[in-house]
Amino acid sequence: MMRIKALPDVPRWAVLAAHAVPLVTLPSGLWRLALVAGLPVTQDADWGAGMSAGESVYVVSLSVVSELLAFLTLGLVRSWGEVFPRWMPFLGGRRVNPAAATGAALAGVAGLCAIAAWGAYASYADLGPGIPATPAQDALLVVCYAPLLAWPVLLAAVAVAYHRRRRGGERRGGGRQYGAGRPAASSWV
């Protein structure tokens, strides 16, 4: 059985959810790359291939950035979500502020929900030019984009698990001791 890397105190469901996030963003990114490559994902084969260079760069960048943002979810279950990696300038070796990490993740959830709501509204209100496609191509589009609906749900669950895990010691142990949980002064340099 394959072993998934994560911190020992992270619940298994949170590890699986965090590792699922990059997988749910992958099909839509591959669909966009196929569009730019001119593959027949639309009825008008020239629709994707006829994009300007700027549009093509935008579509490819959208795929790459969304996948990179999805990979950040792994930080909520791995060590680099608790201490910044040493190679990072100015932050390397310092502890990650749990409130900042949780806040960023939940802001991402809010943004993803807003994008999904706008997409649903725009689709039903028939805004925009639409994509000329056959029923099979429409089905492929839905199959590739439907998994994205799981992204905010999975991210929210992992963020809440991260928050509970990182803040759990404060509630159970009462007050915090001065300096507890702070990096050593030598790591500040």
pTM of the model: 0.82
45-103 pLDDT, tens digit per residue, is 556 566 788 988 999 999 999 999 999 999 999 998 889 888 889 988 899 999 999 99
Contacts of 101 (CB under 8 A, 6+ apart): 75, 76, 81, 162, 166
Look at residues 105, 114, 25, 29 and name the one whose alpha carbon lies nearest to residue 70.
Answer: 25
112-117, long-range: CB < 8 A, 24+ apart: 112/151, 112/152, 112/155, 113/152, 116/148, 116/149, 116/152
Percent residues over pLDDT 90 in the chain: 52
Q: What is the DSSP string of 131-158?
A: ----HHHHHHHHHHHGGGGHHHHHHHHH
Give domain limits for the chain.
Answer: 12-167
